[in-house]
Structures are given as structure tokens and as C-alpha cells.
Amino acid sequence: MSERHRLLITRRMPDAVTRRAQSDYDAVINPDDRIMPEAEWLAAAEGKDALMIASSEKITSDVVDRLPGSVRMIATYSVGYEHIDVAAVKASGRIVTNTPDVLNEAVADIAMLCLLGAARRSYEGQTLVRNGAWVGWHATMLLGKDLTGARLGILGMGGIGRAVARRARGFGLEIHYHNRSRLPEDQEEGATFHESAESLASVSDFLSISCPSTEETRGMINDDLIARMPPDAVLVNTARGDIVDDDAVIAALTSSRLFAAGLDVFRGEPALDARYRDLPNVFLLPHLGSATVNTRNAMGFCCLDNLDAFFAGKPCPTAL
Ligand code: 8YV
């Protein structure tokens, strides 16, 4: 039997992923899923051939300098890689991979949940029922916003954005998008391209964020962009919390400049800006975008496929 490569998995994985990792690798897995301080996981990485990390582990250039020499490959269990200095990892001669595509549909489902949850005042409705404060049906109780005939702006029309568009069409929304580059016509499926985020905002009765967090997109949803949106618009974020300026969004929700927001991700999560908790017009989820059994398995298998390819001397299917 050939020698098994040594792998550190920094977070607990779904059972099927754990089984495969343990059968194919000499795998050390974070036993209690406590987020390990940097020094602790770096120490655990000593002597390992590869790391399977999540977005909780930050790979800055300084961390790259301190990685044990034995570590030749890093697979992140995420599509997003803003927690990794990819250039520094590559410059150190290591390979780094992510998990694109496999989570598109699950995240798009959560985007629709956030959109509907916000538009139809689900948090307020739930609270009323659970608190026993519901006194009965009213013609004017918790009136929300229609999706049919409204315009949905999608910021970032990659795989997740396109999966959101497919679902939203079924709800009668007209699709607009802004992306670094215009999509080929067959991928647009009738969606209207906007050259700028400002132009997209101006037609977005609903605005859903599905772009990566980059230097360019961080803080993009600010006072100026919100001011360009139609009155009573709804904001949805399933991408990364730092794309929105929390002060701007909270002010707009408080003044009802925005009708509502549906948020699955937060700057500094899980320590989100506490003001969100007190706002009735936000529908909040704890970063559930990719959280289905099939999707989380597929993400793990994607990491393992990359590791298998790397150690077989083949190109990694989803190398960054
Ligand atoms: C991950 C995500 O589960 O893939 C991403 O980028 O946001 C989530 O699906 C999470 O980041 C853990 O790595």
C-alpha cells in the first residue's frame, strides 16, 4: 500500500466527506470544531502535506511565510477566497483551490428565501405568531411587496447570480445585472446588462448581491448607491458582509428609504453589527447559503478531488 499523504482539516466536515478523507489520507480533523487560533492550526500543520481549510482560517502573506515547508497544497472549503492571499500562496510555490459551481443552486435558494423573507415581512410575521401577539387576520396587516412585475438587479452574474436569475424569472421578476464583463447572450437569457453598479441600482426594486468580496466591491453598497435605488427597494446579500456599508444600510432601513433587507452574511460574522437585531425590516440568517447535505458533501468532495489530483501529479480541477 502506498504511503498516505498527511492532511490537516481545520473544521469538522459532513460524515461522507470525513469518511472519504480518512480512508484516502492520514487525516487530522479538528475534533470539536472550535475555531483554532492561528498559532494552534499552524502548529497542527507541522509535518502535513496539505491543508483543507474554511473561510475561518486566514491565509495572509505573513501566514504563508510561517507555513511549514511540508505543506504543498491548500484546499479551501468555500467558493469565496477573500481570506487567502492567493498571490502569496502561489509565489511560495504552493497550489490553492476553491469550490466553485457546486454550491450555486443552494446559495441561490437562500437568496430567494432572503428576498421573499424580506419582501413579505417574514420576521415580523413569525414574531407575531410565536409571541402569541397575533390577534387575527386584518386586511392591512404586514403588507409586503410584490415580486411579479418588479425588477431584480443582480450584482455579480457568475454561477450563483445566474442561478438566482433562473429562480427569480419564475416569480415574475424582470432581471437586470451588472458584472465585470457582459455575458454572452445565451447566458443572459434576456437579462439586461448595466455597465455600472450605479446604473443597476437605479432600476433595482430588489438588489441581490452575488459578487466576490474584492478591493473593488468592498463597501460598494453605500449611501450613494442606496440613494440611487427606487424608493422602497429590498436589498439581499448572500455573498459577503463587507460588500455593504453597514452604517448606510442600517440608516436606510431605519428611515424606510429601503423597504427591507434579507441578509445571510455579515461583516465580522458571527459578530454582526448589533443594530441589525433591533430592526423589524430585516430577515436575518446565519450564513446558511451552502448549508445543505448534498452541497456541503459536494464541496468536500471538490476539495478531495483537488487533493487527489495534486498528489497524483495531475492538474487540480479548480485551482485558483
Ligand atoms: C462556506 C461560503 O461554507 O463557499 C463560500 O464561500 O461562503 C460558504 O459556502 C463558508 O465560507 C465556509 O468556508
| Average pLDDT along the chain, 320 residues, taken 10 residues at a time | 87 97 97 92 98 97 98 98 98 98 98 98 98 96 98 98 98 98 96 98 98 97 98 98 98 98 97 97 98 98 98 98
Q: Does the Cβ of 54 fall within 6 Å of ligand 1?
A: yes
Are 113 and 262 within 8 A, CB to CB? yes
Q: Is 111 helix (H, G, I), strand (E, B) or coil?
A: helix
Q: Does the Cβ of 119 fall within 6 Å of ligand 1?
A: no
CA of 55 to the centre of ligand 1 (A): 6
Distance CA 89, CA 234 (A): 38
Kindly list the catalytic residues: 240, 269, 287
Question: 174 forms bridges with which residues in the sheet?
Answer: 151
Question: 209 forms bridges with which residues in the sheet?
Answer: 155, 237
Which atom in ligand 1 lies closest to the alpha carbon of residue 289?
A: 9
Instruction: Check residue 227 and give its pLDDT.
Output: 98
CA of 86 to the centre of ligand 1 (A): 17
| Candidate of 285, 287, 294, 296 to mutate for ligand 1, largest count of ligand atoms within 8 Å of Cβ | 287
Q: Does the Cβ of 238 fall within 6 Å of ligand 1?
A: no
Q: Read off the amino acid at residue 94.
A: R
Return the C-alpha cell found at 193.
Answer: 446588462
Distance CA 256, CA 259 (A): 5
Instruction: Check residue 235 and give its pLDDT.
Output: 99
Domains and CATH numbers, the chain: 6-102+293-311 (3.40.50.720), 104-284 (3.40.50.720)
Supply the pTM of this predicted model. 0.96
CA of 80 to the centre of ligand 1 (A): 6
Q: Phi, psi at residue 177, to the nearest 5°? A: -150, 155
Distance CA 34, CA 162 (A): 34
What is the four-CA torsion angle of 221, 299, 170, 231, rounded to 10 degrees? -10
Are 7 and 28 within 8 A, CB to CB? yes
Instruction: Check residue 128 and give its pLDDT.
Output: 97
Instruction: Check residue 1 and give its pLDDT.
Output: 45
Sign of CA dihedral 278, 281, 285, 289: negative
Instruction: Check residue 2 and give its pLDDT.
Output: 63
